[in-house]
A and B are shown apart, each in its own frame.
Chain A
Amino acid sequence: LSRIGDELYLEPTVTGLSLRAVNSSRSAFASFLFAPLFFQLYEPGGPAPGTERFRCKVHMKSFLGVFRSLPSLEKSVGKCLILLKPRASRLVLQLHCKYGVTKTHNLAFQECEELQAVFDTQRCSSRLCAPARVLAEAVVHFPLTLAEVTLGTGPGGKISLRNYVEDEADPSKTMVTELWLAEDEFQSVAVSPGSCITFCLKEFRGLLTFAEASNLPLTIHFDEPGRPVIFTLDDTVLEVHLVLATLSDLESNSQPPLTNGVSHLPAPSDDFADDLESYMVALETSTCEGGPPSPTFPLRTPQPAQHDPEEEENEEDEEGAVPGTPPHKKFHSLFFGSVLTPGGPGLAPTQQVLAEDSDGEC
């Protein structure tokens, strides 16, 4: 999760503890849902009736700092207790270590809105499932600095992975690496022929490392270019979703985000099985449906121009705009739909990339 965002969102629910992260340009979202069985003891401590579920976010670095040294953790820590203390505004992580030593960390948290991406694996036309090792071995051929990779389906059911080269790059100077995986390397393949999508490698690598370590097969759900690609890991006690925006191959990028987002809105409950795939409440908009300003500007962003989604509508290089994410000039934040109000479509404009307002919205 730290490969994706700087903040860790925690939400204890009846179905488990959900840990989520989103990147600053809203083009990557991941969630880890740990079922109660994963824990020795799990008490979500239900909210008072009438109030929303409790959720908060902490700085990723602070949280990771508690688990700094993995090898020594394995040797010395017996168990870890996680307590959320809303009144004290503290997330307590208590490690019970060897020799009776107890390490207690009281991390400050911020309450926040729900962080949920809009996506539906059922609606994806293609699905691939492979052991993480196969994909990791494939990805190792690409340089660490490579930003985007293209996954495609080819003749004979083969799957290709190719590094994505910018259109503007000089073809004679770029190295293209392409590798093909046979259908039998996958546990299951259900793809529409000729489809291909391009997504960011960095966030995907993060998930792959986890999948390899936990020895779980990885499922990739994808659809047309421009629609998000969803990577899932499933286990009896853990559900992991990584949703990445994909490159749209339309030259003009003014419409796709809207259609992608809006199209989800009309039919909420039928298609969605579990609440992770339900509608998302946009981070900033759940309380702001009141005043839609100009369609191209996100709500409540007194942010400097660099986060302005208008820049997304220009085709120029805006890499400087959102630090830390790979070139996003053609990527869109596709799947953060706006709030579930009856006037849904009218709020579509808010689906534009909303600047990461890390302090403002919560």
Chain B
Amino acid sequence: MPFSAQPPASGDPCVLSASLDNARHLSSLLRAVHFQDHATCFATASGLRVTVEDAKCMQANAFIQAEIFQEFAVQEESVIFRINLSVLLDCLTIFGTSSLPGTSTALRMCYRGYGYPLMLFLEEGGVVTECKINTQEPEELLDFDFCSTKVVNKIILQSEGLREAFAELDMTSEVLQITMSPEKPYFRLSTFGNAGSAHLDYPRDSDLMEAFHCNQTQTNRYKISLLKPSTKALALSCKVSIRTDAQGFLSLQYMIRNEDGQTCFVEYYCCPDENVTEAEL
């Protein structure tokens, strides 16, 4: 049930205020990028973007567009702050994570601006919880500058086909090697672990393949520890698009449908492992 708006206590109005009937729409997306404790939240009139980074060479973004919220208002051009994502998730799921049909946690979010904590009001079944989470200086974020004009190879796959593969990746391998090619093996995921090497091949005419646009044979390696967290996003998604650019930067975009049928996106960007040269055959 919609949460009645609580006016902020005397003083400045919120620069960001939002309300959501079902907090799970937000918490499940945030979980898909929760592999580090801290995240940067960036809000504009179009919606909320939560960014998590690792090792200065990997970035994950969760996009929750304004339309998902019942109310979404941003008073300034953009609002940005850094916050502890683990704590945020704990608060959002304070009433528990099991999803019984018919019950949902309603959320109201309020942020007064720089220096103020993020206020969360959560309600379920008449019980109200108020949370205040301290915010921090936002850190500079990586800019992968990955735009569609620079894309060399692009594949869109149904997530179902990749889920098991990612869950079973040989973690004794340091790298995940991705080969994309207009010729065989078309799309190949390889690991090189203690037991030996393993290759997973997806042919271009597979039923799983929704789109196949590979212009050049590229083989790139990425640190497997950086990509493994994307398994969470993969598990939630129905489709994934895999793109690489001329430098071997990898973009994974996951299309996630929530309980109400609305679509959100999660993205992962990763730099190739430096030790390996580009476009090896």
Residues of A within 8 A of B (CB): 59, 61-62, 65-66, 68-69, 72, 76, 90-91, 99-108
Contact = CB atoms under 8 A, between A and B. Distances in A.
Most A CB contacts (10 A, CB to CB) among B170, B201, B207 go to B201
Contacts of A62: 194-196
A104 B206 contact: no
Given A72-B164, A99-B161, A101-B208, A65 B203 contact: no
Nearest to A95: B200
Q: Which 7 A-B pairs have the closest CB atoms?
A: A62-B195, A100-B206, A107-B196, A102-B201, A104-B199, A100-B203, A106-B197
20 contacts: A65-B170, A69-B168, A72-B164, A99-B208, A100-B203, A100-B205, A100-B206, A100-B207, A100-B208, A101-B200, A101-B203, A103-B199, A103-B200, A104-B199, A104-B200, A104-B201, A105-B196, A105-B197, A106-B196, A106-B197
A72 B167 CA distance: 12
Contacts of B69: none
B81 interface: no
A108 B194 CA distance: 9
A53 B115 CA distance: 76
Contacts of B207: 99-100
Nearest to B187: A101
B279 interface: no
Given A91-B196, A106-B196, A106-B197, 14 more contacts: A59-B195, A90-B196, A99-B202, A99-B206, A99-B207, A101-B202, A101-B203, A101-B208, A103-B165, A103-B198, A103-B200, A105-B198, A106-B198, A107-B196
Nearest to B191: A105
Nearest to B190: A104
A1 B224 CA distance: 32
A197 B82 CA distance: 71
Most B CB contacts (10 A, CB to CB) among A61, A91, A104 go to A104
B196 A100 contact: no
A78 B199 CA distance: 17
A104 B202 CA distance: 11
Contact of B161 (A65, A72, A101, A104): A101
Contacts of A65: 170, 195
A68 B201 CA distance: 18
Interface of B: 161, 164-165, 168, 170, 194-203, 205-208
A90 B203 CA distance: 24
A76 B203 CA distance: 16
A68 B196 contact: no
A104 B195 CA distance: 13
B80 to A, nearest CB: 42
B195 to A, nearest CB: 3
A108 B203 CA distance: 26
A262 B239 CA distance: 67
Contacts of A104: 198-201
Given A68-B168, A72-B164, A99-B208, A61 B203 contact: no
A59 B200 CA distance: 21
A111 B205 CA distance: 39
B202 A100 contact: yes
Given A68-B168, A76-B164, A101 B196 contact: no
A102 B164 CA distance: 13
B234 to A, nearest CB: 15
A101 B194 contact: no
B198 A101 contact: no
Contact of A107 (B165, B195, B203): B195
B175 to A, nearest CB: 16
A90 B206 CA distance: 28
Contacts of A68: 168
A101 B197 CA distance: 17
Nearest to A76: B164
Most B CB contacts (10 A, CB to CB) among A61, A69, A101, A102 go to A101
Contacts of B165: 103
A108 B201 contact: no
A99 B208 CA distance: 6
Contact of A102 (B197, B200, B208): B200
A107 B194 CA distance: 9
A72 to B, nearest CB: 6
Contacts of A108: 195-196
A62 B194 CA distance: 8
Nearest to A90: B196
A62 B168 CA distance: 13
A102 B185 CA distance: 10
A101 B206 CA distance: 7
A61 B196 CA distance: 12
Contacts of B194: 62
Contact of A101 (B170, B195, B201): B201
Contacts of A69: 164, 168
A92 to B, nearest CB: 9
A64 to B, nearest CB: 10
Contacts of B203: 100-102
B269 to A, nearest CB: 25
A187 to B, nearest CB: 41
B163 to A, nearest CB: 10
B152 to A, nearest CB: 23
Nearest to A65: B195
Nearest to A72: B164
A233 to B, nearest CB: 29
